[in-house]
Amino acid sequence: HSKSVSAGNTACRVIVHIDLDCFYAQVEMIRNPELRDKPLGVQQKNIVVTCNYEARKLGIKKLVSVRDAKEKFPQLTLVNGEDLTQYREMSYKVTDLLEEFCPLVERLGFDENFVDITEIVEKRLKQLQQSGCSRLCVSGHVYNDQAINFHDTMHVRLVIGSQIAEELREAVHARLGLTGCAGVASNKLLAKLVSGTFKPNQQTVLLPESCQDLIRNLEHINKVPGIGYKTTQRLETLGLKSVCDLQACPSAILEKELGVSAAQRIQKLSYGEDDSPVTPSGPPQSFSEEDSFKKCSSEVQVKEKIEELLANLLDRIHKDGRKPHTIRLTIRQFSSTNKWFNRESRQCPIPPHLIQKLGKESSSVISPLVDILMKLFRKMINVDLPFHLTLLSVCFSNLKDLPSSKKGSIGVYLTEVSPLSASGKNVYEKEDVSQDQTSSSWNQNFNRTGNTPTRKLSEEKKSCIRKTGIPDFPFNLSPGDIDQEVFRELPEDIKKEIISERTGEMIPTENVFSQPSLCFPKEINSTPPSSKRVNSDMNAAGCSIPFTSAHGSATVLAHSSNASCSECPGSILIDGDGEKKPTDPLNFRERDLLALEAGASQTVLPAPVLGKGEQAFGTTSKDKTYGSREGIVFPLNVDPKTFFELPADVQKELLAEWK
């Protein structure tokens, strides 16, 4: 995890654990300085979740009921802390500030952070050795008041670490107004355990010789970070309650109960051994909102609470900018014996057309998302029987950045199989389902949480595509010194300049391709009897596909119906007046550059002269499946048939964005 410390040499690490004092209360005091010297509690529902140290001096503790706190001290000031926005924002400010000192910062909740300062310590140790300075003082406390041996390099490293920890705490206080405790040790487990030795606003360093004293002084095995509620229950069934019990337990017994891997990990923790790295958290991997209550026992109540949670979540998604692809619902049913740890969850993929709307049209997606969540709810609860919920939580996960080239594109409905096929061309597979089938496929996935539908082409369609000669990509060659993806992201005027510099003239489209750019399969061209003339017009042109170039002119490939697409006799450029202009053959480089230009162009579906009652693409006026297709301009990566299978509102949205 660190450049200067190998994975096997974790004993040389120096880790700082920073734990902010009564975090929610501090944020409230920063927002309202008049509360600073008053006994203050932060209330969520009927619980005082935390309180400042003025209140603690009076005997008020966190996680007590509001009623008990008020009875004990009527003058206690309470503020509502159910909206976590301010706390969340301040929490990220702290992490960002720590990352200015060191990139290895790992968040642990809102108010805790691990910082791996090993590299900084090593640099300061070298500077100290080079300068020959022997004066070195520890900052804060030393656990157990153990004497420091300045001839022990690890002791010196930890002393330097204590100085850096003090600098971090001072910076957080100076810039954000927050105080906190810190622990300095050789791993994350020990740093977290020792940080709370002296509170508030103090710090403690743990030397290696005192590790066992710290671990064995823990009241119960559930105080060891990494041993959770369920594991504690299983260990208690074996008669293990203290850390000493866990250390003395034979490995074979633990492995039989927990499995080899978990048993080894837990026994190492009992000795204070933890080689887990400090992993930079980065942006959050999910967004969730939850609400707890005494009782929720009707579908109407569940739906109302889900709507409230979604409103807050969608606002956070909008600010983040990424698109979630999975949604999860968590419930907690009332239990007199297991009050806190009986949660149940179900999740499913978010339909693609809703993903597109998240963040910009929040009001229009709440209703369909509520419908999805209610289906998940019914998977867990039989609504025909009485139920009693005490918690609901909604979570968006599987967050992804939407590439700029895909925004508003039909490409959202296509799955890229691989970056390059054997021929070096991009390949897409289209989902072989109609819109009605799509909605049902989402419903089927409620039982298979987290799995998206597999999108495959039927063998029949693959065969049809091969027969009609549809290429995998509109061009098959690219200049060695031009990155196609970068080129496509350039502004239009720069594209034109690059192309004109390379070719010096307008390039006919036909010579770019060794095969036709697009041929319509028979399945698309097949029509009812009333549209035979339209089909014959299209077939007469063979694989005729017009392109609108970046220059705005239309270049048309015209082939005889008797000639194959690879046997076109000559290059013909047709300008806006319909005059045929012969062109010279292009060299290899020019063909490639035009291929790049074609990548930025759009495909225009022709609108042939139709008889009464006829429409383009061989449909009649009575055919409601595809609707009117005349004059529609598609980007090159769009499959027209797939487009016309989409819902009408999605079609309108995409067309508006293309315009």
205 lies in the same domain as 323: no
Q: Is the pLDDT of residue 619 over 60?
A: no
Q: Please identify, among 232, 247, 282, the residue that sits at the C-terminal boundary of a domain.
A: 282
Which is more confidently placed, 77 or 363? Answer: 77
Rounded distance, CA 573 to CA 583, Å? 7
pLDDT on residue 610: 42
Beta 633-635 vs 602-604: how paired, if at all? antiparallel
353 lies in the same domain as 386: yes
318 lies in the same domain as 369: yes
Rounded distance, CA 520 to CA 634, Å? 14
Task: Quickly count: other Cβ atoms within 10 Å of residue 367's Cβ.
Answer: 10
Q: Does residue 166 lie within any of the structural domains?
A: yes
Q: Does residue 79 lie within any of the structural domains?
A: yes
Q: How many domains does the chain have?
A: 3
pLDDT digits (tens, 9 = 90+) for 424-445: 333 333 333 333 333 333 444 4
374 lies in the same domain as 250: no
Catalytic site residues? Answer: 112
212 lies in the same domain as 223: no
Q: Is the pLDDT of residue 419 over 80?
A: no
pLDDT digits (tens, 9 = 90+) for 23-36: 999 999 999 999 99
Residue-number span of the structural domain to which 324 is assigned: 286-400
Average pLDDT estimate for 40-63: 92
Q: Does residue 353 lie within any of the structural domains?
A: yes
Q: Is the pLDDT of residue 566 over 60?
A: no
188 lies in the same domain as 277: no
Q: Is the pLDDT of residue 400 over 50?
A: yes
pLDDT digits (tens, 9 = 90+) for 211-253: 999 999 999 999 999 999 899 999 999 999 999 999 999 999 9
Rounded distance, CA 155 to CA 148, Å? 6
Q: What is the mean pLDDT of the chain?
A: 74
Binned at pLDDT 50, 70 and 90, residue 371 comes out as: very high
Question: Are 400 and 325 spatial neighbours (Cβ–Cβ below 8 Å)?
Answer: yes
41 lies in the same domain as 170: yes
pLDDT on residue 335: 84
276 lies in the same domain as 297: no
Terminal-residue alpha carbon distance, the chain: 49
Q: Please identify, among 384, 400, 416, the residue that sits at the C-terminal boundary of a domain.
A: 400
Biggest CA-to-CA distance, the chain: 100
pLDDT on residue 282: 81
Binned at pLDDT 50, 70 and 90, residue 281 comes out as: confident
Binned at pLDDT 50, 70 and 90, residue 199 comes out as: very high
pLDDT on residue 233: 92
Q: Does residue 508 lie within any of the structural domains?
A: no
Rounded distance, CA 255 to CA 363, Å? 52
Average pLDDT estimate for 597-616: 42
Q: Does residue 377 lie within any of the structural domains?
A: yes
Residue 182 has φ and ψ, to the nearest 5°, of -145, 145
Average pLDDT estimate for 390-402: 90
Task: Output the domain CATH number for residue 151.
Answer: 3.30.70.270
pLDDT digits (tens, 9 = 90+) for 475-529: 333 444 556 666 666 667 666 666 665 554 444 433 333 333 343 433 434 444 4
Q: Please identify, among 217, 251, 272, the residue that sits at the C-terminal boundary of a domain.
A: 217
Q: Rounded to two decimals, what is the model's pTM? A: 0.58
Q: Is the pLDDT of residue 167 over 80?
A: yes
pLDDT on residue 468: 41
What letter represents residue 160's amino acid? I
pLDDT on residue 554: 38
Q: Is the pLDDT of residue 309 over 60?
A: yes
155 lies in the same domain as 201: yes
Which is more confidently placed, 456 or 371? Answer: 371
Q: Does residue 223 lie within any of the structural domains?
A: yes
